[in-house]
């Protein structure tokens, strides 16, 4: 799964990488982003419009599900195109969630031992996401996950679907709606680019741990 991440790269740098317009407000660096908060997301309204970086609620619940519907933070890549709750968003409302790295916890460790997982070259990650309008009019999103690969699998059996640079425009493209076309055009990054290390257990409590020291090796 992906239930916590860090984002501290300047938004103008991220915008340039995906060809997006730069938002008026510059979001503060966050080293312990938790579900149920507003996060930065890139989406594209139409093929004739430039992608934009906007804020979305990390919790996916389409308007038709109303306030009693489930609010997942992740969607499995194996079923996102066919699951009734997600398939419309997969076809028409895909987004990118920028991150510098994410956290996972070693199973059965006491206290729960978090690891920070990122690219070896420290380049930003663009996580595949889907979004929908919520019943309050805001946009809510979920991060697409895949089976753990490379060194990430040493920490957890799932990981976010991280897209390679050439796939970003295709994932955002609103005119590409066919499942097989998306599969043929969109690819994840090489697992060899990923590394991880143990970090402070302060990550376990977002209210207490938010500083840049969180990503330092423990």
Residue 5's DSSP bridge partners are 33, 102
User: How far is the C-alpha of 138 from the C-alpha of 156, rounded, in Å?
Assistant: 31
Active site residue 141: no
Neighbours of 44 (CB within 10 A): 23
Catalytic residue among 2, 95, 118, 141: 2
Q: 104 catalytic, yes or no?
A: yes
Q: Which of 47, 49, 95, 104 is catalytic?
A: 104
Residues acting as catalytic residues: 2, 104
């Amino acid at each position: 799964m992906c239930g916590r991440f860090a984002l501290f790269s300047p938004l103008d740098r991220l915008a340039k990488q995906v060809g997006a317009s730069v938002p008026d407000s510059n979001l503060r660096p966050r080293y312990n982003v938790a579900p149920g908060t507003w996060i930065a997301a890139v989406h594209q309204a139409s093929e004739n419009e430039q992608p934009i970086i906007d804020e979305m609620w990390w919790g996916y619940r389409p308007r038709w599900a109303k306030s009693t519907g489930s609010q997942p933070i992740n969607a499995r890549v194996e079923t996102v195109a066919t699951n009734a709750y997600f398939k419309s968003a997969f076809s028409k409302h895909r987004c990118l969630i920028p991150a510098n790295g994410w956290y996972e916890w070693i199973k059965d460790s006491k206290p729960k031992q978090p690891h920070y997982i990122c690219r070896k070259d420290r380049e930003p990650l663009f996580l595949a996401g889907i979004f929908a309008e919520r019943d309050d009019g805001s946009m809510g999103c979920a991060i697409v996950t895949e089976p753990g690969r490379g060194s990430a699998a040493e920490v957890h059996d799932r990981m976010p679907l991280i897209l390679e640079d050439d796939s970003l425009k295709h994932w955002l493209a609103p005119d590409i709606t066919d499942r097989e076309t998306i599969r043929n055009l969109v690819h994840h990054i090489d697992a060899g680019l990923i590394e991880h290390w143990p970090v402070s257990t302060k990550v376990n409590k977002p209210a207490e741990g938010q500083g840049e020291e969180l990503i330092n090796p423990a």
